[in-house]
Amino acid sequence: MTTAPPAPPVPSRALAALRRDRGFVTGAVIAGLMVLVALTAPLLAALAGQDYTTYHDTLLDSARGGVPIGGFGGISGEHWLGVEPGTGRDLFARLVYGAQVSVGVAVAATFLEVLLGVTVGVAAGLGGRWLDSGLSRVIDLVLSVPVLVMAISLLAIVPQDWPRPVLLAAVIAVLGWGGTARLSRGETLSLRTRDYVAAAQVAGAPWWRVARREILPGLTAPILTYAALLLPTNMVVEAGLSFLGVGVRPPTPSWGQMLSTATTWFRADPFYVFLPALMLFLALLAFVLVANGLRRALDPRQRELTR
């Protein structure tokens, strides 16, 4: 009746490796800052004395199409990053509020994808032949759906008064859980052949206990790594949807939406393009660094080698 204890989720050895990984630390710090900015957006905007909706018409050169007056997109003591061409809305406020949408939607979508993917994947892996092949076909179907095209059509048909950020996260998750599910199923299939899992099953543990006590801990490392890679992907999808105009509704800002408006201004006011592009670039870089660090520290194959 003895069962070998499953590997702890994140071994202390891995933590130590992560701490030594300069790429991971840099990524984690930037990502942490992004999340902090998103969480404290109202506070930061208040600190700057600005909000993201007020128009400042006097700061624009209307005769030249509405470009901000002054260098670098109209940077001043009041408008730290200048103002938006065409409206005069404060760019600092829009950028930090944009972080809420970009980071928030990406995190929520990733969380939902993991929840959905792991549930289906583990069920397929542990279930019988029929359940497995049934769920596997569903996973195949989800994986074969072109995410952007499908998301555009889904977002176009829902009523407008639904809260957009929640909707965006839900749509991205519903269309994107296939990968997590397939990964979870594969890992579960390999884990269930392990002695300790077999022992638990022989001992008569119900399937849900097996899943929770024996399988999930073993899944943590690969799923964590995979989720860290999903996060930047989801951020790009959100930016893409907002860029195409089916994302958040005005006047809510998001980096993708800012990038979209900026395309008409990139010669007249290049600084405006630069801001959301830089933020997206930094966020993506940070999350990819984190994911790579996690993979290096947690990859089972590498773990085997270090054992």
Partner 1 sequence: MRRFVPIVLTATVLLAGCQGGGGGDTTTSGAAFDPKTCQGGTLTVLNQGGITHLDPARLYTSGGGNIPSLLFRTLTTRNRQPGEAGAKAAPDLATDLGTPSDGAKTWTYHLRDGIQFEDGTPITAADVKYGIERSFAPELPGGAPYLRDWLDGAASYQGPYKQPEGIKAIETPDDKTIIFKLSKPEGDFPYLATATQFAPVPKAKDSGTEYEKHPISSGPYQVESYEPKKSLVLVRNTHWSQSVDELRYACPDRIEVTSGLDSAVINQRLVTGAGGDANAVTTDAVVGPEQLAQLGTGSELDKRVTRGEFPSTTYLAFNTKKAPFDNPKVREALSYAINRTSVVNALGGSAVVGPSTTFLPPQKALGYQAYDHFPAGDTGNPDKAKQVLAEAGLSNLSIDLAYENDDSEGIGPKVASAIQEAFKQAGVTVKLNAIDAATYRDVTGKPATQPGLALATWGADWPSGGPFLIPIFDGRQIITAGGNFNLAQYNDPAVNTEIDAINALTDPAAAAARWGALDAKLGALALVLPLTHEKDVYLVGKNVKNAYADGWRGQLDISRISVK
Binding site for partner 1 (CB under 8 A): 53-55, 57, 60-67, 85-88, 160-161, 245, 249-251, 264-269
Please report how close the Cβ of residue 53 comes to partner 1 at its closest, in angstroms: 6
Please report how close the Cβ of residue 123 comes to partner 1 at its closest, in angstroms: 40
Residue whose tokens read 């005069």: 88
Q: Which is nearer to partner 1, 10 or 154 (CB)?
A: 154
Please report how close the Cβ of residue 87 comes to partner 1 at its closest, in angstroms: 7
CA separation for the pair 165, 172 (Å, rounded) = 11
Other beta carbons within 10 Å of 15: 11
Q: Which is nearer to partner 1, 157 or 305 (CB)?
A: 157
Q: Is residue 83 classed as helix, strand or coil in its secondary structure?
A: strand
Q: Which is nearer to partner 1, 264 or 292 (CB)?
A: 264
Q: Is residue 61 classed as helix, strand or coil in its secondary structure?
A: strand
Other beta carbons within 10 Å of 217: 15
Q: Which is nearer to partner 1, 177 or 265 (CB)?
A: 265
Question: Is the peptide bond preceding residue 276 cis, with omega within 30 degrees of 0?
Answer: no
Please report how close the Cβ of residue 201 comes to partner 1 at its closest, in angstroms: 55
Please report how close the Cβ of residue 234 comes to partner 1 at its closest, in angstroms: 24
Please report how close the Cβ of residue 160 comes to partner 1 at its closest, in angstroms: 6
Alpha carbon separation from 113 to 7, 37, 202, 224, 256 (Å, rounded):
24, 24, 32, 12, 21
Q: Which is nearer to partner 1, 68 or 121 (CB)?
A: 68
Q: Which is nearer to partner 1, 1 or 157 (CB)?
A: 157
Please report how close the Cβ of residue 57 comes to partner 1 at its closest, in angstroms: 4
Residue among 98, 224, 91 nearest 165 (CA): 98
CA separation for the pair 238, 99 (Å, rounded) = 12
- 3-state percent breakdown (helix, strand, coil) of the chain, nearest 5: 75, 0, 25
Please report how close the Cβ of residue 89 comes to partner 1 at its closest, in angstroms: 9
Q: Could you please report the per-residue DSSP string of 241-298?
A: HHHTT-SSPTT---HHHHHHHHGGGTTT-HHHHHHHHHHHHHHHHHHHHHHHHHHHHH
Q: Which is nearer to partner 1, 161 or 304 (CB)?
A: 161
Q: Which is nearer to partner 1, 139 or 168 (CB)?
A: 168
Alpha carbon separation from 112 to 40, 118, 202, 231 (Å, rounded):
23, 10, 33, 11
Other beta carbons within 10 Å of 139: 22
